[in-house]
């Protein structure tokens, strides 16, 4: 076994979609959300600021999140069941680390035998009528550098840890000693290709297994 702990990003890594963008489109705010995302990419606003702006705009209620959970399952990547099964059979601890919304991720995670305490994502808070109140602003995952912080917390004994994802924030896990696999099967980003220890361009997630086992 090469790794004791393997962590996966979720959006565009385990499911071929971006959850917050999908919620925005469903609510009819696709264009506004794209403008905010662009502002963040151009460095005009901080990631953490955009995170709050986007959610406070969309205000997803519980029914929206149930819808998103189904969409995530429909768009799951080819090969993911085999990947999790083989890692778990080899005794590897499998985690999901995502800046996405935890309640929408849990149902697909459960089909992969990843328990809720190994899903690290952002909690939404609803009122008694299941209407949006807020998100967990204390989560490190709403800030840049947050994924690296979670990797560090997960691995106090400095075991061999790998992180797999499509984004720049996934590759930040390198700063805490993770082996980083860039997954370009959904979106291939040049910056990730440049920063990753290994870059995968196949659409079947099983392409990561030879690097992990």
Burial of 198 (0-12, 13-18, 19+ CB in 10 A): middle
Per CB under 5 A, the segment of 65-73, 164-172, 175-183, 194-202 that binds Mg ion is 164-172
For residues 183 and 190, the answer to whether their CB atoms sit within 8 Å is no
Catalytic residue (one of 4, 9, 66, 166): 9
The minimum distance between CB 1 and Mg ion, in angstroms, equals: 25
Per CB under 5 A, the segment of 6-14, 19-27, 38-46, 196-204 that binds Mg ion is 6-14
Rule CB under 5 A: say whether 172 interacts with Mg ion: no
Ranges within 7-26 binding Mg ion (CB under 5 A): 9, 11-12
Rule CB under 5 A: say whether 166 interacts with Mg ion: yes
Q: Can 11 be counted among the known catalytic residues?
A: yes
CB of 60 or CB of 167, closer to Mg ion: 167
Closest by alpha carbon to 32, among 9, 89, 171, 23?
Answer: 23
Residues 133, 141: Cα–Cα separation, whole Å: 18
Rule CB under 5 A: say whether 149 interacts with Mg ion: no
Number of helices (H), then strands (E), belonging to the chain: the values are 10, 8
Distances (CA, A) of 187 to 11, 12, 17, 19: 10, 7, 10, 14
Per CB under 5 A, the segment of 49-57, 114-122, 145-153, 160-168 that binds Mg ion is 160-168
Residues that bind Mg ion (CB under 5 A): 9, 11-12, 166-167
């Amino acid at each position: 076994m090469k790794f004791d702990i393997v962590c996966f990003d979720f959006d565009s890594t385990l499911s071929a979609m971006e959850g917050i963008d999908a919620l925005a489109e469903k609510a009819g705010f696709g264009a506004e959300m794209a403008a905010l995302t662009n502002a963040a990419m151009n460095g005009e606003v901080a990631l953490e600021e955009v995170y709050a702006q986007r959610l406070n705009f969309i205000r997803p209620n519980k029914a929206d999140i149930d819808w998103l959970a189904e969409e995530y399952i429909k768009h799951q990547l080819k090969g993911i069941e085999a990947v999790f099964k083989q890692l778990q059979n080899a005794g590897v601890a499998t985690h999901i680390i995502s800046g996405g919304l935890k309640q929408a991720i849990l149902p697909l995670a459960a089909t992969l035998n990843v328990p809720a305490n190994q899903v690290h994502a952002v909690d939404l808070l609803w009122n008694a009528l299941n209407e949006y109140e807020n998100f967990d602003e204390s989560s490190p995952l709403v800030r840049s550098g947050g994924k690296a912080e979670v990797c560090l917390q997960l691995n106090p004994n400095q075991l061999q840890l790998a992180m797999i994802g499509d984004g720049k924030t996934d590759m930040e896990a390198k700063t805490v000693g993770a082996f980083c696999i860039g997954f370009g099967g959904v979106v291939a980003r040049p910056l990730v290709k440049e920063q990753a220890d290994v870059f995968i361009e196949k659409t079947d997630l099983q392409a990561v297994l030879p690097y992990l086992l």
